[in-house]
């Protein structure tokens, strides 16, 4: 069963890419004004053909390159992936960059740091690393580069 996993993953991945390729090609050949889509037509045709080729190879089990994602890897990366998605797509704007970064950084550190969670020193270290990182980011972006980030929720 486990040996079929990469093949199924290859089929799903190449199927999605084929769907994008076909959609792009369809859009290129149907949208107006046609003059604006001359170059997209050219590349989307190649895109769609190569994507379908890859999909057919995956269905036939001939996809040799790419190991896919194992169950263990998926389990490992899922919490980090969720934090990343929430941080980039919601928290940074809604909570403010520095607040969101502090929270995301601390959570990621807590999840992926192998140090024992029951030792007080571990937590002190994590808080200090997070504070140090935010201080450096503030110094670099707010002070040095004058980047005005979205308004902080606590400000």
Partner 1 sequence: MEFLFYMGDVFTPINFGLLLLGTIGGLILGATPGLSPTMTVALMIPFTFKLEPQQGLILLGAAYTSTVAGGAVSAILLKIPGAPANIATTLDGHTMAQKGEGAKALQLSFIASAIGGLFGVFLLIFLTPVLAQWALAFGPSELFWLAILGVTVIGTLDSSSVVKGLLSGCIGLWLATIGFDDIMGAQRFIFHSSVSGGINVIPALIGLFAIPQVITMFAKGPKGTDAEIIVVQHHPIGKAFNEIFSRKRALAIGTAIGSVIGLIPGVGGQIAGLVAYDQSKKMSSESAKFGTGHPEGVIAAESANNAMVGPSLVPLLTLSIPGSPTAAVLLGGLLIHGIFPGPTLFTQYPQVVWPFINSMLIGQILMCVFGLLIAGWAANVARVPPAVMAAVVLGLAVFGSYSVQHSMGDVYVMASLGLGMFFLERFGFSAAPLVLGLILGPIAEANFMQGAMIANATVGQMAYFFTGWLNWLLILIVVASIGYSIWMELRQRRYTTKEDAQA
Q: Under rule CB under 8 A, which residues in 57-86 are in contact with partner 1?
A: 57, 63-69, 72-77, 79-81, 84-85
Residue 18: Cβ within 10 Å count: 20
Closest to partner 1 by CB, 71 or 120: 71
CB 98 within 8 A of CB 136: no
Closest to partner 1 by CB, 46 or 154: 46
Does position 95 interact with partner 1 (CB under 8 A)? The reply is: no
CB 68 within 8 A of CB 3: no
Question: By rule CB under 8 A, what string of x and - marks binding of each residue 112-151 to partner 1?
Answer: xxxx-------------x---x---x--xx--xxxxxxx-
What distance in Å separates the CA atoms of residue 4 and residue 11, rounded to the nearest whole number? 11
First to last CA, the chain: 54
Does position 56 interact with partner 1 (CB under 8 A)? The reply is: no
């Amino acid at each position: 069963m486990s040996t079929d996993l990469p093949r199924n993953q290859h089929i799903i991945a190449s199927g999605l890419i084929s769907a994008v390729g076909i959609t792009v090609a369809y859009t290129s050949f149907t949208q107006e004004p046609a003059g604006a889509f001359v170059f997209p037509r050219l590349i989307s045709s190649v895109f769609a053909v190569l994507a379908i080729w890859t999909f057919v190879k995956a269905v036939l089990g001939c996809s040799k390159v790419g190991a896919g994602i194992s169950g263990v890897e998926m389990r490992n990366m899922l919490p980090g992936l969720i934090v990343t998605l929430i941080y980039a797509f919601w928290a940074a704007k809604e909570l403010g960059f520095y607040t969101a970064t502090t929270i995301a950084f601390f959570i990621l550190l807590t999840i992926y740091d192998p140090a024992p969670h029951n030792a007080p020193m571990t937590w002190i270290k994590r808080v200090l690393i997070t504070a140090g990182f935010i201080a450096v980011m503030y110094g670099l972006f707010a002070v040095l580069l004058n980047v005005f980030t979205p308004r902080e929720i606590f400000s």
